Structure 1
Amino acid sequence: LLKQQYGNFKAEGTETLEQTFNRLQAIIKFEDINQIDEDDMEEMEHGTVKHEGRQVLEKNWKED
């Protein structure tokens, strides 16, 4: 499956190995984001809001 998706991916002659790796990682992350459905996105947003709210409350509680 990976060979089908990334078989044409090639390192540029002037790129370092790290640059090639970073470019491939960016492509993979972009592909992963495109596969997330809307319900999952909403669930992640709610989780982030809950986490950030909890951090604010904990910080304020410690300051009091």
Structure 2
Amino acid sequence: MPIYEYRCESCDERFEEYLSSSEKPSPPCPACGSEKVERLMSRISTEWLPSDVNWHRTGSSWD
């Protein structure tokens, strides 16, 4: 299930919810109970390594 990030328009609280993609309604704010929440675009984490670099993991360091 994806994690969605929300911001409450009433109290400015930010929170996350695990929701299936079939669940459409936004959850109420856990801080104030308001239903006026907006879904935010969350940042994603990526890792990029050049394809021509030979990285080998040994122990706890990269050689």
TM-score of Structure 1 vs Structure 2, range by shorter chain: under 0.3
TM-score normalised over the length of structure 2:
0.23
Bigger fraction of residues in helix: 1
Bigger fraction of residues in strand: 2
